[in-house]
Amino acid sequence: MIRYALICDRDHEFEGWFAASVDFDDQSARGLVECPVCASKAVRKAIMAPAVAGMKTHTQDPSPAQTRAMMMHAMQRVRQHVEENFDDVGDAFAKEARAIHEGRAEERGIYGQATAVEVRDLVEDGVPVAPLPPDPPKKTELN
């Protein structure tokens, strides 16, 4: 199998796997290759670095402490992104999320607080919700 980095005319990047190098050209010519994002059939191969056999780099897996630190950093970045780019609706989260879902309020990213019962009701009604990662621990709380 050959993996190609592909790009459509709207600059969406994705991968395609083909049995042989001529298969991409054949399938593309027949209109069988399309962008999974926008369904454009104007797809071409993107520039990519070749995988060279025998050039393995020897790296150690991160320690559990390093893994934990990386996860905490990633969660902190997610929380920071939400706080900087979404509207904080406080304890009106459930009401506002439902209004957005039903089209009664402007479509936008929000965050806030909700009770366990409110969250359960939102999920049961098909309203997409996800918990926000917790605040990072304060330095005084770390070992």
pLDDT of residue 53: 64
Task: Note whether residue 80 is domain-resident.
Answer: yes
Q: What's the pTM?
A: 0.53
Task: Note whether residue 21 is domain-resident.
Answer: yes
Are the CB atoms for 128 and 107 separated by under 8 Å?
Answer: no
Q: Are residues 34 and 91 in the same domain?
A: no
Q: Are residues 76 and 115 in the same domain?
A: yes
Q: Are residues 80 and 38 in the same domain?
A: no
Task: Note whether residue 53 is domain-resident.
Answer: no
Interval 71-89: pLDDT, tens: 888 888 899 999 999 999 9
Interval 92-122: pLDDT, tens: 999 999 999 999 999 999 999 999 999 999 9
Calpha distance 143→141 (Å, rounded):
7
- How many domains does the chain fold into? 2
139 or 127, which is more confident?
127
Q: Which domain holds residue 29?
A: 2-45
Q: Are residues 76 and 35 in the same domain?
A: no
Task: Note whether residue 124 is domain-resident.
Answer: yes
